[in-house]
Protein backbone atom coordinates (compact mmCIF):
# COMPACT_ATOMS: atom_id res chain seq x y z
CA UNK A 1 0.00 0.00 0.00
CA UNK A 2 1.59 3.31 -0.99
CA UNK A 3 2.22 5.66 1.88
CA UNK A 4 4.13 8.81 1.32
CA UNK A 5 2.73 11.70 -0.66
CA UNK A 6 5.90 13.69 -0.60
CA UNK A 7 6.09 16.99 1.09
CA UNK A 8 2.94 17.43 3.04
CA UNK A 9 2.30 14.66 5.53
CA UNK A 10 1.36 17.26 8.14
CA UNK A 11 -1.71 18.08 6.05
CA UNK A 12 -4.89 16.49 7.40
CA UNK A 13 -6.13 15.77 3.88
CA UNK A 14 -2.92 14.04 2.87
CA UNK A 15 -3.05 12.04 6.11
CA UNK A 16 -6.54 10.85 5.25
CA UNK A 17 -5.54 9.98 1.71
CA UNK A 18 -2.63 7.89 2.96
CA UNK A 19 -5.31 5.58 4.33
CA UNK A 20 -8.22 6.24 1.99
CA UNK A 21 -6.53 7.13 -1.27
CA UNK A 22 -7.19 3.73 -2.72
CA UNK A 23 -10.63 3.36 -4.27
CA UNK A 24 -11.21 -0.20 -3.12
CA UNK A 25 -10.59 0.88 0.45
CA UNK A 26 -13.38 3.44 0.35
CA UNK A 27 -15.70 1.05 -1.49
CA UNK A 28 -15.17 -1.57 1.22
CA UNK A 29 -15.97 1.05 3.86
CA UNK A 30 -19.05 1.99 1.84
CA UNK A 31 -20.25 -1.62 1.75
CA UNK A 32 -19.72 -2.01 5.49
CA UNK A 33 -21.38 1.30 6.31
CA UNK A 34 -24.34 1.29 3.94
CA UNK A 35 -25.02 -2.32 3.01
CA UNK A 36 -23.95 -3.58 6.44
CA UNK A 37 -21.64 -6.15 4.86
CA UNK A 38 -19.35 -8.00 7.28
CA UNK A 39 -18.31 -11.16 5.46
CA UNK A 40 -15.59 -11.74 2.91
CA UNK A 41 -18.04 -13.20 0.45
CA UNK A 42 -20.45 -10.29 0.83
CA UNK A 43 -17.73 -7.76 0.02
CA UNK A 44 -16.49 -9.87 -2.83
CA UNK A 45 -19.88 -10.23 -4.47
CA UNK A 46 -20.96 -6.64 -3.94
CA UNK A 47 -17.75 -5.17 -5.31
CA UNK A 48 -16.65 -7.76 -7.85
CA UNK A 49 -13.16 -7.47 -6.37
CA UNK A 50 -10.54 -10.18 -6.82
CA UNK A 51 -10.07 -12.29 -3.63
CA UNK A 52 -6.37 -11.49 -3.26
CA UNK A 53 -7.04 -7.76 -3.53
CA UNK A 54 -9.89 -8.00 -1.04
CA UNK A 55 -7.71 -9.88 1.46
CA UNK A 56 -5.01 -7.26 1.08
CA UNK A 57 -7.39 -4.34 1.58
CA UNK A 58 -9.17 -5.94 4.56
CA UNK A 59 -5.80 -6.57 6.23
CA UNK A 60 -4.80 -2.98 5.56
CA UNK A 61 -8.07 -1.67 7.04
CA UNK A 62 -7.53 -3.80 10.17
CA UNK A 63 -3.94 -2.54 10.51
CA UNK A 64 -5.17 1.03 10.18
CA UNK A 65 -7.81 0.50 12.84
CA UNK A 66 -10.87 0.96 10.63
CA UNK A 67 -12.05 -2.65 10.81
CA UNK A 68 -11.83 -5.34 13.47
CA UNK A 69 -11.93 -9.05 12.75
CA UNK A 70 -14.38 -11.20 14.70
CA UNK A 71 -14.90 -14.93 14.64
CA UNK A 72 -18.32 -16.37 14.04
CA UNK A 73 -19.62 -19.89 13.60
CA UNK A 74 -22.77 -21.24 12.03
CA UNK A 75 -24.19 -24.61 13.05
CA UNK A 76 -22.23 -27.45 11.52
CA UNK A 77 -19.58 -25.30 9.81
CA UNK A 78 -16.07 -24.34 10.82
CA UNK A 79 -15.54 -20.90 12.31
CA UNK A 80 -15.09 -17.97 9.99
CA UNK A 81 -14.17 -14.34 10.23
CA UNK A 82 -16.27 -11.28 9.84
CA UNK A 83 -15.12 -7.71 9.49
CA UNK A 84 -16.77 -4.98 11.52
CA UNK A 85 -16.19 -1.23 11.36
CA UNK A 86 -14.53 0.36 14.39
CA UNK A 87 -15.60 3.77 15.63
CA UNK A 88 -12.88 5.33 13.44
CA UNK A 89 -14.27 3.40 10.48
CA UNK A 90 -17.86 4.40 11.19
CA UNK A 91 -16.80 8.03 11.47
CA UNK A 92 -16.00 7.90 7.77
CA UNK A 93 -19.70 8.43 7.09
CA UNK A 94 -18.85 12.12 6.72
CA UNK A 95 -16.45 11.31 3.87
CA UNK A 96 -18.84 8.80 2.33
CA UNK A 97 -21.71 11.31 2.48
CA UNK A 98 -19.56 14.05 0.90
CA UNK A 99 -18.45 11.77 -1.93
CA UNK A 100 -22.02 10.66 -2.44
CA UNK A 101 -23.37 14.21 -2.60
CA UNK A 102 -20.80 15.18 -5.18
CA UNK A 103 -21.39 12.09 -7.31
CA UNK A 104 -25.15 12.47 -7.11
CA UNK A 105 -25.21 16.13 -8.16
CA UNK A 106 -22.14 16.38 -10.42
CA UNK A 107 -22.28 12.96 -12.05
CA UNK A 108 -26.03 12.54 -12.10
CA UNK A 109 -27.57 9.61 -13.91
CA UNK A 110 -31.23 8.62 -14.07
CA UNK A 111 -30.70 5.21 -12.50
CA UNK A 112 -28.38 6.56 -9.80
CA UNK A 113 -28.52 5.46 -6.18
CA UNK A 114 -27.07 7.08 -3.07
CA UNK A 115 -27.09 6.46 0.65
CA UNK A 116 -29.84 8.28 2.51
CA UNK A 117 -28.61 9.07 6.02
CA UNK A 118 -31.14 9.12 8.85
CA UNK A 119 -30.98 9.38 12.64
CA UNK A 120 -30.79 5.86 14.01
CA UNK A 121 -33.68 6.00 16.48
CA UNK A 122 -36.09 8.40 14.84
CA UNK A 123 -35.49 7.82 11.12
CA UNK A 124 -35.25 11.62 10.67
CA UNK A 125 -33.40 12.38 7.42
CA UNK A 126 -30.17 14.36 7.64
CA UNK A 127 -27.82 15.83 5.10
CA UNK A 128 -24.32 17.16 5.08
CA UNK A 129 -23.89 20.94 5.29
CA UNK A 130 -21.46 23.64 6.26
CA UNK A 131 -22.77 25.36 9.41
CA UNK A 132 -21.66 28.31 11.52
CA UNK A 133 -21.36 28.16 15.31
CA UNK A 134 -24.85 29.70 15.42
CA UNK A 135 -26.19 26.79 13.41
CA UNK A 136 -26.74 28.73 10.19
CA UNK A 137 -26.17 26.74 7.03
CA UNK A 138 -23.85 28.24 4.44
CA UNK A 139 -23.66 27.22 0.78
CA UNK A 140 -20.42 25.56 -0.27
CA UNK A 141 -19.96 28.23 -2.95
CA UNK A 142 -19.67 31.05 -0.42
CA UNK A 143 -16.65 29.68 1.41
CA UNK A 144 -12.94 30.24 1.40
CA UNK A 145 -10.35 28.10 3.13
CA UNK A 146 -6.88 28.69 4.38
CA UNK A 147 -4.36 26.31 5.88
CA UNK A 148 -4.30 26.53 9.67
CA UNK A 149 -2.39 24.69 12.43
CA UNK A 150 -4.61 21.99 13.93
CA UNK A 151 -3.97 23.31 17.44
CA UNK A 152 -5.89 26.46 16.46
CA UNK A 153 -8.85 24.38 15.36
CA UNK A 154 -9.62 22.63 18.65
CA UNK A 155 -13.37 22.30 19.06
CA UNK A 156 -14.10 22.82 15.38
CA UNK B 1 -6.89 6.78 -15.70
CA UNK B 2 -8.77 3.72 -14.44
CA UNK B 3 -12.51 3.94 -14.81
CA UNK B 4 -14.65 0.98 -14.01
CA UNK B 5 -15.20 -0.24 -10.50
CA UNK B 6 -17.12 -3.28 -11.52
CA UNK B 7 -20.71 -3.74 -10.61
CA UNK B 8 -21.89 -0.52 -9.10
CA UNK B 9 -21.48 2.43 -11.41
CA UNK B 10 -24.99 3.58 -10.50
CA UNK B 11 -23.70 4.27 -6.97
CA UNK B 12 -23.02 7.96 -6.34
CA UNK B 13 -19.93 7.14 -4.30
CA UNK B 14 -18.46 4.92 -6.99
CA UNK B 15 -19.20 7.65 -9.55
CA UNK B 16 -17.25 10.14 -7.47
CA UNK B 17 -14.38 7.75 -7.01
CA UNK B 18 -14.16 7.18 -10.76
CA UNK B 19 -13.02 10.81 -10.90
CA UNK B 20 -11.49 11.30 -7.48
CA UNK B 21 -10.17 7.87 -6.61
CA UNK B 22 -6.62 8.85 -7.44
CA UNK B 23 -4.80 10.56 -4.61
CA UNK B 24 -2.94 13.05 -6.78
CA UNK B 25 -6.24 14.22 -8.22
CA UNK B 26 -7.60 15.17 -4.81
CA UNK B 27 -4.29 16.72 -3.77
CA UNK B 28 -4.32 18.92 -6.89
CA UNK B 29 -7.88 19.97 -6.04
CA UNK B 30 -6.74 20.67 -2.48
CA UNK B 31 -3.90 22.90 -3.70
CA UNK B 32 -6.22 24.80 -6.01
CA UNK B 33 -8.92 25.16 -3.36
CA UNK B 34 -6.88 25.96 -0.27
CA UNK B 35 -3.55 27.33 -1.45
CA UNK B 36 -5.11 29.02 -4.47
CA UNK B 37 -2.54 27.47 -6.80
CA UNK B 38 -3.19 27.93 -10.51
CA UNK B 39 0.17 27.39 -12.19
CA UNK B 40 1.92 24.19 -13.19
CA UNK B 41 5.00 25.12 -11.24
CA UNK B 42 2.99 25.91 -8.11
CA UNK B 43 1.31 22.51 -8.15
CA UNK B 44 4.60 20.81 -8.86
CA UNK B 45 6.47 22.46 -6.03
CA UNK B 46 3.68 22.13 -3.48
CA UNK B 47 3.08 18.45 -4.19
CA UNK B 48 6.50 17.23 -5.24
CA UNK B 49 4.77 15.44 -8.15
CA UNK B 50 6.65 14.37 -11.28
CA UNK B 51 5.93 16.68 -14.26
CA UNK B 52 4.56 13.91 -16.47
CA UNK B 53 2.16 12.78 -13.76
CA UNK B 54 1.06 16.34 -13.12
CA UNK B 55 0.41 16.95 -16.83
CA UNK B 56 -1.62 13.76 -16.98
CA UNK B 57 -3.71 14.61 -13.91
CA UNK B 58 -4.32 18.22 -15.00
CA UNK B 59 -5.48 17.01 -18.41
CA UNK B 60 -7.78 14.50 -16.73
CA UNK B 61 -9.24 17.18 -14.44
CA UNK B 62 -9.92 19.42 -17.46
CA UNK B 63 -11.58 16.54 -19.34
CA UNK B 64 -13.74 15.83 -16.31
CA UNK B 65 -14.77 19.47 -16.05
CA UNK B 66 -13.17 20.23 -12.68
CA UNK B 67 -10.51 22.61 -14.03
CA UNK B 68 -10.41 25.03 -16.94
CA UNK B 69 -7.23 26.15 -18.67
CA UNK B 70 -6.64 29.87 -19.14
CA UNK B 71 -3.84 31.70 -20.89
CA UNK B 72 -1.90 34.38 -19.09
CA UNK B 73 1.13 36.44 -20.00
CA UNK B 74 3.62 38.32 -17.90
CA UNK B 75 5.61 41.25 -19.31
CA UNK B 76 8.42 40.08 -21.53
CA UNK B 77 7.59 36.36 -21.36
CA UNK B 78 5.72 34.07 -23.68
CA UNK B 79 2.13 33.18 -22.78
CA UNK B 80 1.53 30.36 -20.35
CA UNK B 81 -1.39 28.38 -19.01
CA UNK B 82 -3.02 28.47 -15.66
CA UNK B 83 -5.53 26.03 -14.23
CA UNK B 84 -8.63 27.31 -12.49
CA UNK B 85 -11.31 25.33 -10.66
CA UNK B 86 -14.75 25.24 -12.26
CA UNK B 87 -17.88 25.38 -10.16
CA UNK B 88 -17.93 21.56 -10.10
CA UNK B 89 -14.33 21.64 -8.91
CA UNK B 90 -14.99 24.21 -6.22
CA UNK B 91 -17.95 22.19 -4.98
CA UNK B 92 -15.47 19.54 -3.90
CA UNK B 93 -14.85 21.60 -0.78
CA UNK B 94 -17.38 19.34 0.94
CA UNK B 95 -15.22 16.31 0.14
CA UNK B 96 -12.02 18.13 1.04
CA UNK B 97 -13.50 19.27 4.35
CA UNK B 98 -14.71 15.77 5.20
CA UNK B 99 -11.31 14.23 4.43
CA UNK B 100 -9.64 16.94 6.45
CA UNK B 101 -11.89 16.42 9.48
CA UNK B 102 -11.20 12.72 9.48
CA UNK B 103 -7.45 13.15 9.10
CA UNK B 104 -7.32 15.81 11.77
CA UNK B 105 -9.23 13.83 14.37
CA UNK B 106 -8.34 10.23 13.49
CA UNK B 107 -4.74 10.73 12.37
CA UNK B 108 -3.84 13.57 14.70
CA UNK B 109 -0.26 14.80 14.89
CA UNK B 110 1.08 17.74 16.90
CA UNK B 111 2.37 19.60 13.86
CA UNK B 112 -0.76 18.92 11.80
CA UNK B 113 -2.41 21.52 9.60
CA UNK B 114 -5.90 21.62 8.11
CA UNK B 115 -7.97 24.01 6.06
CA UNK B 116 -10.14 26.35 8.12
CA UNK B 117 -13.29 27.15 6.13
CA UNK B 118 -14.88 30.57 6.55
CA UNK B 119 -17.65 32.51 4.86
CA UNK B 120 -16.07 34.55 2.08
CA UNK B 121 -17.44 37.99 2.98
CA UNK B 122 -17.69 37.86 6.75
CA UNK B 123 -14.85 35.53 7.72
CA UNK B 124 -17.32 33.59 9.92
CA UNK B 125 -15.93 30.11 10.62
CA UNK B 126 -17.97 27.12 9.46
CA UNK B 127 -17.65 23.41 9.87
CA UNK B 128 -19.11 20.33 8.28
CA UNK B 129 -22.04 18.67 10.06
CA UNK B 130 -25.01 16.41 9.49
CA UNK B 131 -28.17 18.48 9.92
CA UNK B 132 -31.88 17.73 9.87
CA UNK B 133 -34.40 19.74 7.82
CA UNK B 134 -35.07 21.72 11.01
CA UNK B 135 -31.40 22.69 11.18
CA UNK B 136 -30.54 20.48 14.16
CA UNK B 137 -27.04 19.03 14.11
CA UNK B 138 -26.71 15.30 14.58
CA UNK B 139 -23.53 13.47 15.56
CA UNK B 140 -22.08 11.19 12.89
CA UNK B 141 -22.25 8.28 15.34
CA UNK B 142 -26.05 8.40 15.59
CA UNK B 143 -26.74 7.81 11.93
CA UNK B 144 -27.68 4.92 9.72
CA UNK B 145 -27.68 4.90 5.94
CA UNK B 146 -29.47 2.88 3.35
CA UNK B 147 -29.15 2.86 -0.39
CA UNK B 148 -31.88 4.88 -2.08
CA UNK B 149 -32.69 5.83 -5.69
CA UNK B 150 -31.45 9.35 -6.42
CA UNK B 151 -34.87 10.38 -7.72
CA UNK B 152 -36.20 9.96 -4.16
CA UNK B 153 -33.52 12.30 -2.85
CA UNK B 154 -34.38 15.40 -4.83
CA UNK B 155 -33.89 18.48 -2.67
CA UNK B 156 -31.66 16.70 -0.18
B146–A96: do the CB atoms touch at under 8 Å? no
Position B27 pLDDT exceeds 70: yes
Question: A77 falls in which pLDDT band (50, 70, 90)?
Answer: confident
A94–B101: do the CB atoms touch at under 8 Å? yes
Domain B12-126 falls in which CATH fold? Arc Repressor Mutant, subunit A (1.10.10)
- A1 or A125, higher pLDDT: A125
> At B105, is the secondary structure helix, strand, or coil?
helix
Average pLDDT, chain B: 90
Position A80 pLDDT exceeds 60: yes
**Calpha distance B28→B26 (Å, rounded):** 5
Shortest distance, CA B53 to any CA of chain A (angstroms): 13
Question: A7 falls in which pLDDT band (50, 70, 90)?
Answer: low
Residues A93, B145 contacting (CB under 8 angstroms):
yes
How many residues are given for chain B?
A: 156
Q: A90-118 pLDDT, tens per residue? A: 999 999 999 999 999 999 989 999 999 99
**Does B114 lie at the interface with A, CB-CB under 8 angstroms?**
yes
Average pLDDT, chain A: 90
A110–B151: do the CB atoms touch at under 8 Å? yes
Which of B 33-62 lie inside 8 A of A, CB atoms?
Answer: 33-35, 46-49
- Which residues does A41 contact at the CB level (< 8 Å), separation at least 6? none
Q: What is the pLDDT of residue B105?
A: 92
Question: A156 falls in which pLDDT band (50, 70, 90)?
Answer: low
Q: What is the pLDDT of residue B22?
A: 84
A118–B144: do the CB atoms touch at under 8 Å? yes
Q: What is the DSSP letter of B149?
A: E
Q: What percent of chain A has pLDDT over 70?
A: 94
What is the mean predicted confidence (pLDDT) over B102-126? 93
- Which residues does B41 contact at the CB level (< 8 Å), separation at least 6? none
Q: A59-75 pLDDT, tens per residue? A: 999 999 999 999 988 88
Q: B56-80 pLDDT, tens per residue? A: 999 999 999 999 999 988 888 888 8
Position A52 pLDDT exceeds 70: yes
Question: B86 falls in which pLDDT band (50, 70, 90)?
Answer: very high
Position A79 pLDDT exceeds 90: no
Q: Which of A53, A105, A145 would best serve as a mutation to test chain B binding (most B beta carbons within 10 A)?
A: A145
Q: Which of A33, A46, A109 sits opposite B145 (nearest CB)?
A: A33
First CA to last CA distance, chain B:
31
Locate the DSSP E strands across chain B: 67-72, 80-85, 113-119, 126-132, 137-138, 143-149
Position A2 pLDDT exceeds 60: no
Question: B2 falls in which pLDDT band (50, 70, 90)?
Answer: very low
Domain spanning A12-121 has what CATH number? Answer: 1.10.10.10
B144–A14: do the CB atoms touch at under 8 Å? no
Q: What is the pLDDT of residue A8?
A: 65
Q: What is the pLDDT of residue B3?
A: 41
Q: What is the pLDDT of residue A73?
A: 83
Position B114 pLDDT exceeds 50: yes
Amino acid sequence: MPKSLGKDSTCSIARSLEVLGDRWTLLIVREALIAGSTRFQEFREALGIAPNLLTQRLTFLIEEGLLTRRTYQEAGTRSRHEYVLTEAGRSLNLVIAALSDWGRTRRARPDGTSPAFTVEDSDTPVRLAFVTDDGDQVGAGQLVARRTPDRELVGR
